[in-house]
Structure 1
Amino acid sequence: MARLPLQILVIPYRYRDDGRIEYAIFRRGDHSEDCWQGVAGGVEQGETAEQAARREAMEEAGVPFKAPLVSLDAVASVPAFHFQDRDLWGPDVYVVLERAFGIYLEDDLTIVLSREHTEYRWVAYEEASRLLKWDSNRTALWELNERLKRDDINVPS
């Protein structure tokens, strides 16, 4: 299926027994430098950004499709040259919009990595923010963390 010039970012989160919030971040396997990020991927033709977020979370981390997904306000523009499919989009596509989401995982869910990543870590906000490579990831993480602190997100009990 053809990839659209639309990117998604998904940040998994969970609550520990003591109420602390942790975020899953992923080390990319295809970068020579140390690259930590959320789950990221493209939206395919006929798919909504929300559907792509669920699919990518399942493909890259084994997250169940029914896990609660939170649409964030954070958006970013990523230069098109970062994407393999850029030549398919024509010469007038200079940037790709990135939509961000949070996804709630039960504390006992085991993440299953795809070959895109070499490892993952559950970390507190401060460490995640420090390790994330991309500004867009840090912005989305900040928004998700603020919403969770303010209880703006309903999580199943």
Structure 2
Amino acid sequence: MAEALEGRAPFQVLVLPYRQIEGGLLYALFRRLDGAYWQGVAGGGEAGETPLQAARREVAEEAGLAGAFEFIELDAQATIPVVSVTGEFTWGPDALVIPEYTFGVQVDDPEFTLSSEHTEYGWFAIDAAMATVQWGSNRTALWELDHRVRRDRPVKHS
């Protein structure tokens, strides 16, 4: 397994796609095939990538979002036990946890092309999204993204 992970960088990314609808915001969550839980797009960095580059690659691979999307870098950050991510001590016995960097990305098209890592996706209002995700780090990132978008890009009501 270490051979397959040789190109991995010691960090994870979490990306939360969102869209603005009349009167509100919706957040896309994805159901993982391997755990049947819901989360944003998540994945590991590759050697030489920055967290933003990894975020762009992961949404292209897992949700079919490729192109010049505007990403919002969030302050929310978590650390994850390395064995929960790769199943082993990938970066040696002293690398016990790795950081997870978080991003939001606004999308206009509500349709995604899923990778084999997910069984489905759904669009959720903030309260439902917060109740649906499994991980506290996802809730923190959702809260921050929702606050930033509502503050910086007021939702239009007709």
TM-score using structure 2 length: 0.89
1:12-53 deviations in whole A, cap 9, x for unaligned?
A: 00011x13100000000011xx41000000111111100000
C-alpha deviations, 1:61-103, integer Å up to 9, x for none? Answer: 0112311101000000111111226433000001010000001
Q: Percent of counterpart pairs with the same letter? A: 49
Check the 8 A contact 2:13/2:43 in 1, yes or no.
Answer: yes
SS at match of 1:118: strand
Counterpart of 1:83 in structure 2 is 85
1-side partners of 2:90 and 2:76: how far apart? 26
Contact 2:89 2:95 in 1 (8 A): no
User: Which 4+ residue blocks in structure 1 deviate beyond 4 angstroms?
Assistant: none
| 1:39 corresponds to which of 29, 38, 41 | 41
Structure 1 partner of 2:12: 7
Distance (Å, rounded) in 2 between the aligned partners of 1:148 and 1:84: 33
- Alignment partner for residue 27 of structure 1, among 25, 31, 34? 31
What's the secondary structure of 1:87's corresponding residue? coil
- Separation in 2, partners of 1:46, 1:77: 20
Letter in 2 for 1:6: F
The gaps in structure 2 that reach 5 residues or longer are 1-5
Q: How many residues get paired?
A: 149
TM (norm. structure 1) is: 0.90
Shift of 1:151: 1.6
* 3-state SS of paired residue (1:130): helix
Q: Does 1:58 align with 2:50?
A: no
Task: Determine the C-alpha separation between the residues in 2 that align with 1:152 and 1:56.
Answer: 25
Q: RMSD of aligned C-alpha atoms?
A: 1.5
Aligned residue identity for 1:146: H
Structure 2 equivalent of residue 105 of structure 1: 107
CA distance, structure 1, for counterparts of residue 88 and residue 54 of structure 2: 18
Letter of the structure 1 residue corresponding to residue 18 of structure 2: Y
5+ residue gaps, structure 1: none
